[in-house]
Structure 1
């Protein structure tokens, strides 16, 4: 009874946390069994973390991915070892196959059996930039004595992007935001400015060339006219 009360209290804490998490969502309720999920454009963002905790309070992981890279992100690989993607009724908490558009978010939640550890997985995304940058998220829970999950990221060019991660609730929930790096933004601005300066200089050179050609033509015409007048005089 005490354990059930403890789990209920923790789920309430999670709900309160999700109300104040970085990604805010409007409210309409939808019944999914004994748990009420808000029915909105993307209900997974709020429901999946709580559903994962209901499936396995001590051994579940939810990752909220926010795309601010300036490009679409496409799922390339999603893999789980000793676990499963959390699903319930019309709520599927697995990585989506549709492109994750810029300024949009998605969540994928996974869990495993109560007694089994060494629970791990990873997802790899390809960003629609000029070099098809890849971004991989790894997660691992290897021991029942360890209170926190291990997360890591790989393959994303640091000069082009910045990754910000926020952990919550004993690392059961991880929010990952992919930004355009400040240096990359500055480089783009400098590159664009350089192109504008080059175009302006090129226009100036062309204008000077035509002006000089016009003056030279006018001078030749004036000289020819004077020679003609001199010839007529004699």
Structure 2
């Protein structure tokens, strides 16, 4: 039997940099074969090579969440090479409103909304739906949706919330929708060995988070990696930050 089929296989989307890159590193350090998903072949290959030079089993796979053809090609490759997928981390995401001047809900363009949802929500749903048959073949499938506390309607309604005045309609609502997908998919899979959860990494020093953020990528990756490697009695259908529950 192919030795690769005996190991756990993980796919992390949007993993050529930032949190996705660090999630890939931390999973690989646990002896997991990691498929580092990226839409840019050069950047993805360079990222995977860098982790390989650390002695980690990380391999680039072309994966564009907005291009169904690349998702299906990736699924075919995984089926042929590994026969299953144990872990899917839906990390790819954008924030087109981040910056000094955030458009108000009454001014944000429909184009910004559509572009944001295309990657943050529809892309994650497409990747999960296409790869789910492979995850069902795992003895302990794990799906982690990288969300944000800005997707919490409860927190957005609380004036004491640290980010109460940060209202980015496109980004925030795309993460709210992603959380809804987590709840619904976890319910569908409740009687299986697959666990589905959302993770808030925190405000992390990445291209999106900027150097002003208060967490390192290592700290930001901690909760997603924890959820990706939950034991058989682990939780499903939850929303977590620093391994603690967050309100929807």
Q: Same fold by TM-score, threshold 0.5 exceeded? A: no
- Structure in which a larger fraction of residues adopt strand: 1
- Structure in which a larger fraction of residues adopt helix: 2
Which structure has more RCO (C-alpha within 8 Å, separation ≥ 6)?
A: 2
TM-score (norm 2): 0.30
TM-score (norm 1): 0.31
